[in-house]
Structure 1
C-alpha cells in the first residue's frame, strides 16, 4: 500500500515521536512519502533522522510561516492548480468547508504537491492536517484518510477556531487515532464518532536507549525535559525544588528545553533563591537528552492545564525517562496516568500541588533502593507498551482495517 504522511514542520526537535513513528513504518517495509508544510529551520536534528536518511522520503512544500507571503503567492498557485485540476482548485477555496486550512491557503500548496499522485491512505498528524487529508480525498488524490490527534489539536484548537472546526473531518475521515483515552474522550465530546477512534500511543525506539545504564548518576539531581511553556508546569517544579533544597546540599535541577517562558522562569528561580542550582539547558537533540536521562536520578513533569485551555498530550518524555531507568513524578493530567504505574514506576500528584510534588521528589531522592525498583519496573513497562515495533503493528492493523471498509 502507498501511504502519504501529512505533517507541519519536519523534522522538529520537540516532535521526536513523529520521527519514531515514520522510522517504524519504513523499517516495517511500508511505502511511505512524507509531505511537510516546511522544513524546521533549526539544525542539528535528531541523529536518527540522518541515520535513517529520512530526507529521501520527504517533500517539503515551503509554505511560508507568515501570512502575507503565503497570500501573495496564492493567485499563482490557484492558476497552476486550475490548469492541472479545476475541481481541486475550486475545492481549495471552500473556506466554510475546510475552515482554517483553506483560509491560510494551505490547500493550494498541497493540491499542487499532490498533482499526478495517488495514495491508498493519507495519514495526517494533528487535527488541522486531517482537514487537508479530507480535501485530498475529496479531490481524488487518496482513497482513505486517517487522522491522528495528539492533544493540543483537540484541547485548544476548537476553542480558538470554533467547536465545529472539524465538522467535515468527522464526516469524511475514515479512521481516527488518539494518543490517550483522555484525548479520545475529548474528540467524542467534540463530535467525533467513538466507533471510529483507535488508541495508538506515541512511541519510542526502545533499542535507542540500550546504552543508558544509569551507572553514574549525579547524586541529588532532578530532570525535566519539555518546552518552557505554561502547560509543562515548570513553575511548580521550581517551587517544589525550593521547598526541598534544605534537605539536599548538592541538589541540582536540570531543565532541558526552550520556550517563551525562559526569562520568566529564570526570574522565578532568582526570586526563590535557587538560580544557582538550576541549569537552563535549552533545546537538545535526542542524543544529548539521553545523557541527561542516564545521569540524573529523578524525572519530573508536573503538567497542568494552561490558561488558554491547552493541555499535555501523552508526555512521551515520561516514557523516555522510564525506559532509561528513571523514577518519575508527574501529574494526574490528561492522558499522563496511562503512561506509568503509579506507586510502581513513579508517582502521580494533583495538578499544581507543590507540597505533594515536593514530598514525592524528596522521597525518591532519599531512597536509592526505591529509585532502583521503580527504574527496573519502568523499563519493562515501557518496552512492552510503547516500543515502536509494538505501535507499528497496531498502525498496520489500522491501515488494513480502513482499506477493508467502505470509504466514507
Structure 2
C-alpha cells in the first residue's frame, strides 16, 4: 500500500506530556505524518520527517507567520515538495496557525481539541489581541473536520458556535502493551499536576477525613505544581504519611499504575475555565487494572462506569470522595474486581490500534472529499 504524507502540525512538538499525539498515528498505514512546528521539545519518532519552521520564515520571521499568516517562498516549497494531502493540527491554537498554510496550499485542515483549548476563558472570549481568538470563527468555518476528544468537549465547542455538523468525537487512548496490571498492592495513587484543575486539593481533604481507615495503605501522590507546598502542609497537619516522588518520567509511569489498586482522578473546572477533555490517566489506570475514584468532570464519565469500574462523585465533593475511598479500602475484593472490569472496558472501547485506524479513516475521508489524494499521485 502506498502511503501519502500529511502535515501533522503542532506549534510545540514532542512535548513529553503530549506523547498521545504521536501515539495516535501508530496504526497508520495509508498516511505518513510530516511533523511541523516551531518548538521541538523532545526527540521525535525514529525516522520521522520533522519540519522545524523557525528557519524557514522570510524577513517577517515567526511573528509574521503567526500574526499575519505570511508564508515565505521557502516554507511553501518545503511543504509542497512533501506533497501532503491534508493538515492535521493538534490543539485549537495550532489549528489557527495552520490555517494560512491550508489556505495558500489548497489543503484541507482537520483540528483536534483536547481540553483547555476549548474551555479556558482566555480561549472562548472575543479578543483581537490573540491569534486564536481572532481566527477562531474562521477556523471553525474553514476547517474540513473538527475532532473533540470527548462528548463533553463537543458540547463545549457547540455552545460557543462551532458547527455541529463539522464535529466528530474521537476519544484519546493509551497503549495496552505499555500499561498492564502487575502485582497489586494496597496503594492509593494520584498522578498529575498539583493544580486546581486536577483536584489534588479535594483528594487531600478527603484523605484527611479517612484518618485511621488508611492504616495499612500507602498513599502515593505523583507530580509537582503550584499547589504542592501548601498541600504538603495539609498532609502533615492531618497526620497523613504520603509518598511524594515528584515528577515521574513517562517511561516509569506504567510501573506505578501496575502496582496501585486505586487511582484517584478528582479533576474539576479551574477558575480560569480550564477543564479536561478526557484525562488519559483514566485510560492508563484502567488498562493497568486499577479501580478509579473520580469526579463527574468533563469526559471522565465517558470512560469510568460508576459502581462498576470505579466510583464517580461531583466536583469538589470531599465528603463523597472520602466515602467512596472508604468503601474501596474496606472491600479489597470488590475493588480488585472493579479494576478487572476497567481493564476489559478499556481494551474494548479505548483500544489504541482501533482508535488510531479510526483517526486515519477520518483523515483519509477528508482528503478524498477534497480531492487531494488524487493530486498527490501526479
Q: TM-score range by the shorter chain?
A: 0.7 to 0.9
SS in 1 for 2:346: helix
Q: Tell me, what secondary structure is at the counterpart of 2:78?
A: coil
The answer to whether residue 358 in structure 2 is matched with residue 388 in structure 1 is no
Q: Whose RCO is larger (CA < 8 A, sep 6+)?
A: 2
Match of 2:289 in 1: 325
Q: Deviations over 1:264-318 (max 9, x none)?
A: 32233233332xx222222222331111111111000100111111111201110
Question: Does structure 1 retain, via aligned residues, the 8 Å contact 2:57–2:72?
Answer: no
CA distance in 2, matches of 1:61, 1:129: 13
Calculate the TM-score normalised by the size of structure 2.
0.87
CA distance in 2, matches of 1:111, 1:352: 53
Q: Is 1:131 paired with 2:96?
A: yes
Q: Which residue of 2 aligns with 1:30?
A: 31
1:214 to 168, 172, 182: 182
Residue 109 to residue 385, structure 1, CA distance change in 2 (3 Å): farther
Structure 1 residue runs without a partner (length 5+): 64-75, 82-88, 95-100
Change (3 A) 1:222 1:114: farther
Q: Is 1:258 aligned to 2:261, yes or no?
A: no
Task: Answer whether contact 1:177 1:200 (CA < 8 A) is retained.
Answer: yes
Assess, with a 3 A threshold, how the Cα gap between structure 1 residues 289 and 80 changes in structure 2: closer, same or farther: same
In structure 2, which of residues 4, 9, 12 is the aligned counterpart of residue 6 of structure 1? 9
Are the equivalent residues in 1 in contact too, given 2:89–2:109 (CA < 8 A)?
A: yes
Question: What is the alpha-carbon distance in structure 2 between the residues aligned to residue 33 and residue 62 of structure 1?
Answer: 16
Matches of 2:72 and 2:295 in 1, distance apart? 39
Q: Give 2:130's aligned residue.
A: none
Query: Matches of 1:189 and 1:202 in 2, distance apart?
Result: 22
Name the one with the larger helix percent: 1
Which of 282, 295, 307 is the aligned partner of 1:343?
Answer: 307
2:50 matched residue in structure 1: 58
**In 2, Cα distance between equivalents of 1:388 and 1:356:** 33
* 3-state secondary structure, aligned to 1:143: coil
Q: Does 1:304 align with 2:268?
A: yes
Cα distance in 1 for partners of 2:10, 2:86 equals 14
Q: Does the CA-based 8 Å contact 1:312-1:334 persist in structure 2?
A: yes
Other-structure match for 2:142: 172
1:53-202 correspondence to structure 2 within 5 Å? 53=46, 56-61=48-53, 77-79=57-59, 101-102=66-67, 107=69, 113-118=75-80, 119-140=84-105, 142-156=106-120, 157-159=122-124, 162=127, 165-202=135-172
SS state at 2:59 partner? helix
RMSD of aligned alpha carbons:
2.5
Deviations 1:120-172 (A, max 9, x none): 110000001111221101121x5210000111001014246646651110111
Report the TM-score, using the length of structure 1 for normalisation. Answer: 0.81
- Aligned match of 1:84: none
Aligned residues of 2:96 and 2:135 also touching (Cα < 8 A): no
- List gaps (5 residues or longer) in structure 2: 128-132, 372-378
